[in-house]
Amino acid sequence: MEKRFETKLLHSTKKNQREIKSKVMPIYQTSAFAFNSLDDLEGFYQGEGNYLYSRVGNPNTDELGQAVAAIEGAVSGIATSSGLSAILVGILAVVKSGEHIIAADDLYGGSFHLLKEELNDLGIQTTFLSFSDLYQVEKSIQSNTKLLFTESITNPLLRVEKLEAVSELAKKYNLVTLVDNTFATPYHCTPLAKGIDLVVHSATKYIGGHSDVTAGVLVGRESLIEKARTKVVNLGANLSPFEAWLTCRGLKTLALRMKSQSFNARKLAEALRGNSHISKVYYPFDEDESGYGAMVSIELSKEIDVSTFFKSLSWVKIVPTLAGVETTVSHPITTSHRALPPEASATLGITKEVVRISVGIEHYEDIINTFEQAIQSAIQLP
Do residues 303 and 180 share a domain? no
Give the C-alpha separation, 179 to 196, whole Å. 7
Give 218's pLDDT tier (boundaries 50, 70, 90): very high
Do residues 38 and 183 share a domain? yes
Is residue 175 within 8 Å of residue 204, measured between CB atoms?
Answer: no
Beta strands in 100-197 (DSSP E): 100-104, 125-129, 145-151, 176-180
Do residues 153 and 267 share a domain? no
Q: Roughly how many angstroms between the first and final C-alpha of the chain, as a whole number?
A: 65
Last residue in a domain, options 205, 228, 252:
252
Do residues 299 and 196 share a domain? no
Do residues 247 and 309 share a domain? no
Domain count across the chain? 2
Nearest to 72 by CA among 166, 148, 179, 154: 179
Lowest pLDDT segment from 10-14, 71-75, 274-278: 10-14
Give the C-alpha separation, 271 to 42, whole Å. 64
Last residue in a domain, options 252, 270, 285:
252
Share of the chain above pLDDT 90, in %: 84
Give the C-alpha separation, 95 to 286, whole Å. 35
Give 16's pLDDT tier (boundaries 50, 70, 90): low
Lowest pLDDT segment from 9-23, 208-222, 244-258: 9-23
Do residues 244 and 261 share a domain? no
Q: Which residues contact 258 (CB under 8 A, 6 or more apart)?
A: 185, 187, 188, 206, 294
Do residues 163 and 283 share a domain? no
Give the range of the structural domain holding residue 151, as residue numbers without chain letter. 5-252
176-206 pLDDT, tens digit each: 999 999 999 999 999 999 999 999 999 999 9
Give 340's pLDDT tier (boundaries 50, 70, 90): confident
97-109 pLDDT, tens digit each: 999 999 999 999 9
Is 382 inside any structural domain?
no
Q: Average the pLDDT over 10-14 and give the result.
A: 73
Q: Average the pLDDT over 296-303 and give the result.
A: 96
